[in-house]
Structure 1
Amino acid sequence: MYVFHLFLGAFAITNLILSAKISRALPLLDRVRTIRTGTFQLFVLAHLGISYAALMLVLITTGNIFLNQDLRFNIPPSLGYVIRSPLPIIPILYFLPYSQKRKFGLFALISLPSIFIGARGTVVSFIASYAILVIIGLINRRNSEAVKKSAFRSKKFLKIFGFSFLAFFITIASGFYIRRHNSQTWSSAGDIAQEYFQSDSIFVFIILPFYLAFKETTGLANQIINNDLGLTTKIFFSDFYTLLPGNHDAAGKMFGDEIGRIGGGGLTPGIVGGLFLDFKYYGVIGMIVLATLLARSYAATVKSPKYAAVYAILLFQFIHLFHRGFPKPEYVTFVLIALFYTAFFLRKNDA
């Protein structure tokens, strides 16, 4: 608990200090407009074509990953990144003059390749990034119209919140239960419910995927800190080496190989556990760096609202990193892709 308070306290205090000079006003998203919409559509279609081609190649060479989730660990990292690369387009869609029906159709086209390869948490983070832009837009609109009723009680907010929550749950839970269906490695959901809750109520099965995910993160971090675990090599940035020629294991897999694991996936000790594993108490510097990056990015977004989608992506990639514990190259590439689409197709309208 001391280590968690130290690391999270450093993050919070840095955020508070750097945020003191940032305007409390939310980014004015209604001042952003889309330019070259036709060209944007062509880029999106081309991008999706590359993603679906990579997905077909993976399905042919690896098998039906959607029904056998353990196969996703056999996907070459570079192909996995290509398949997931269209996801940053999702929050960009907020600024486009499309109907909600058309946007939801694009959501599905953009998300399906990633869902098929088991990248459920990644998809959810981009749905959430879109949802937060909708919430900011609602709050700004109600403030400008001097409407007393809270934006969080509006029908539109409730619809967005309901859709986002449903998409979040279905995306995460479906993979969890499919992975355990007739698996020779993993315990069934019913056995897990009886083991940890001695109950088979519907509420237990709703929270079970999230309970096990958080249990793994806190449990591994506890083992790392209390037992002062350390590996012979530093692994915090190992995922970046997977893009180089040759065979390079991801950090979670290397950590699992060292301390023991079941199945082909890597282990997720959370950001505190991941930093402490390699850097011990110096890992607190990493928390300060992350807090600085988020605070400065938000300050830039307030000044130039067209970058709101980029900031939303950065924010939820941090949440993903907070749970995972080890950074991935796509945390960087996602932001770069969003910056590309923002720079070429969005413009701040000061009029």
Structure 2
Amino acid sequence: MFRPAAAVGISFVIGLASLAVDLSWVQYLLLFVILAVPLPLLEPKGRLFFLLVGVYVALGVLPFSNYRGTLATATISEYVLMSCAVLCSIGIADFMFDRGGRSNIEYSALSWGTKHVYVFAFICTISWLFLVKVYGQHGILLFNQFGRFDVGSYDAYLVKAASYLPLYFVASRRFRYKLRDFLLYILMPLLPTLLIGSRGGVLMVLLGVCCVVYVRISVHGRPGDASRLRRVLVGLIPLGYAVVALGFFLRRGSDGVYMTPSELHAAYFNTPILVSYLVMPIHLGLRETVGLTNFILERGVVNDVVTYPLFVADFYTLQAGEQISAGRALASVVGSVADGGLTPGLLGALRLDFGLSLSLIVVMLLSFSVAATARLAESRGLWTMLWALTLIQFVQLFHRGFAKPEYLMAYMVVLIAWLVPRLVLKV
């Protein structure tokens, strides 16, 4: 009980200190303390969750370049407070769902049979058919990055529908470390999402796959399983970076819309060009959202485009008629050089409609949902799958800022894969 209470206590102390001091260097110091010091106090899955948040905040907030200018002290303070809110939620969940040190937990993997294969094949067929439709209407979106902004909401969601099926497969009894299974049940569902240009979505699912495998190994791992997982993780890091970097440099081509990498290096970096090129794909993407949040807070930008919160505006695009997405609504207020929308991150999106206190409450509730499912993940494959899905959806929401129907669709897909074969068996 000491560790969860200590994590909550640290979050309160750092939060109060952040509110009391108005110096940038102190805020950077508090940010370092809140992101690094409490990690040993958290259980492994909570540590992973907070580490993902910490890496994102650190790479976006710390001044690795002067891209998007200098952050205001108040902006840094709000990121410190948001990190405190996430840590506090993890500590509360650890306290509420503490298992009293019990290590011998009976794990129940998800069922798998012929009917599951049929459900997988049906959902994958839908995704591939809609991918063909989208390519026929908009061209090869893997190389035409701007074309994906013209794809209709329903078509985009249906293309991505199968991408969450690998989470069910690795949580099931059928999961084995075999190339055939990887190609059929992991790569095949993910390819439509990659081919439509959603690199981040693919990386998040692969992260979720690793999370599920980690839980299964930690509960009843066999000799050699841990070393296999380490090899997979070591291989995924450069692979993930390569996917992000490829998309970044393709998008930053000499089309006159965005600055080229050489122009970015000359304008914003003081490091050798090779170092700049290595950090650009990650740092600039995160700094973009942090810079937008800084702009929103400094200029007092509020949502005066639609009558409902921009945080949930993308759900209204499913209605009949012309509805503006949250990202494009923000772009109409802030301004943008491209046709796509803007992503201010979770903090910036919430602050467009809500005050600081309510925004932190929303962050705490979302964080608690991740931390609570993490504590339940060691007992049943269903909870393992739902924890991994909730974690990756939170990471995507943390980066984009605006809730999307796709997040709910992901839960519908994995629950269909779990529920439909069970109902058919009872008929």
Establish whether TM, by shorter chain, passes 0.5: yes
Residue 33 of structure 1, CA deviation: 4.6
Moved more, 26-35 or 49-58: 26-35
1:271 and 1:323 in contact (8 A); partners too: yes
Task: Tell me if structure 2 keeps the 8 A contact 1:27–1:301.
Answer: no
Task: Give a deviation string over 1:54-109, Cα, whole Å, max 9, x none.
Answer: 11111111122111100010000110000001111112221224442023213222
Shift in CA distance, 17/43, structure 1 to aligned 2, threshold 3 Å: same
Please give the residue correspondences for 1:230-269 in structure 2 after superposition, counting only pairs within 5 Å.
230-232=302-304, 233=306, 234-269=309-344
1:1-351 equivalent positions in 2, closer than 5 A: 1-22=76-97, 23=99, 31-36=108-113, 38-94=114-170, 95=172, 96-106=174-184, 107-141=186-220, 154-198=226-270, 201-232=273-304, 233=306, 234-281=309-356, 282-344=358-420
Give the distance between the partners of 1:123 and 1:25, measured in 2 at CA: 35
Tell whether the 8 Å contact from 2:215 to 2:384 is kept in structure 1 after alignment. no
* Total equivalences in the alignment: 338
Q: How big is each residue's C-alpha offset from its partner over 1:225-248, in whole Å with a ceiling of 9 and x where there is no partner? A: 222211213311111011111121
Structure 1, 273-282 or 191-200: larger mean CA deviation: 191-200
Aligned to 1:349: none
Task: Output the CA distance in 2 between the equivalents of 1:249 and 1:8.
Answer: 31
Amino acid at match of 2:112: I
2:108 corresponds to which letter in structure 1? Answer: R
Amino acid at match of 1:241: Y
Moved more, 101-110 or 206-215: 101-110
Q: Where does structure 2 lack aligned partners over 5 or more consecutive residues?
A: 1-75, 423-427
Determine if contact 1:65/1:118 at 8 Å carries over to the other structure.
yes
Alignment CA distance shift 1:298-1:199 (3 Å)? closer
CA RMSD of aligned residues (A): 2.5
Structure 1 window deviating more from structure 2 (181-190 vs 57-66): it is 181-190
C-alpha distance in 1, partners of 2:294/2:102?
39
Supply the distance in 2 between the matched residues of 1:208 and 1:26 (Cα, whole angstroms).
43
- Rate the CA distance shift 1:169–1:30 in 2: closer, same or farther, 3 A: farther
AA in 1 matched with 2:359: G
Using the TM superposition, give the Cα deviation of residue 29 of structure 1 relative to its aligned residue in structure 2, in angstroms: 8.6
**Distance between the aligned counterparts of 1:280 and 1:339, measured in 2?**
35
Q: Distance in 1 between matches of 2:103 and 2:347?
A: 30
TM-score by length of 1: 0.88
| SS of alignment partner, residue 255 of structure 2 | coil
| Residues 292 and 99 of structure 1: CA distance in aligned 2, closer, same or farther (over 3 Å) | closer
Please, which moves more after superposition, 223-232 or 17-26? Answer: 17-26
1:243-263 deviations in Å (ceiling 9; x for gaps): 111121211111011110111
Aligned counterparts of 1:79 and 1:133: Cα–Cα separation in 2: 29
**Alpha carbons of structure 1 residues 33 and 48: separation in structure 2 relative to 1, 3 Å:** closer
Alpha-carbon shift at residue 325 of structure 1 (Å): 0.8
Counterparts of 1:209 and 1:262, CA distance in 2: 19
- Which amino acid letter does the alignment assign opposite residue 139 of structure 2? G
Deviates more, 1:198-207 or 1:332-341: 198-207
Contact 1:181 1:188 in 2 (8 A): yes
Moved more, 61-70 or 158-167: 158-167
The amino acid that maps onto 1:165 is I
- SS of 1:279's partner is coil
1:213 counterpart SS class? helix
CA shift digits 1:174-196 (9 cap, x unpaired): 21122223423122223223332
Question: Which secondary structure state, in structure 1, belongs to the residue aligned with residue 366 of structure 2?
Answer: helix
| Residues in 2 aligned to 1:280 and 1:118: alpha-carbon distance in whole angstroms | 35
**Superposed displacement of residue 198, structure 1:** 4.6
| Residues 155-174 of structure 1 deviation map (CA, whole Å, 9 limit, x = unaligned) | 31331112321331232222
The aligned amino acid for 1:263 is: A
Instruction: Decide whether aligned partners of structure 1 residues 278 and 49 sit closer, same or farther in structure 2, where only a CA change above 3 A counts.
Output: same
TM-score normalised by length of structure 2: 0.73
Hey, what's the Cα distance between the residues in 2 that align with 1:312 and 1:27?
22
The answer as to whether partners of 1:15 and 1:291 remain within 8 angstroms in 2 is yes
Q: Decide whether the 8 Å contact of 1:66 with 1:117 is kept in 2.
A: yes
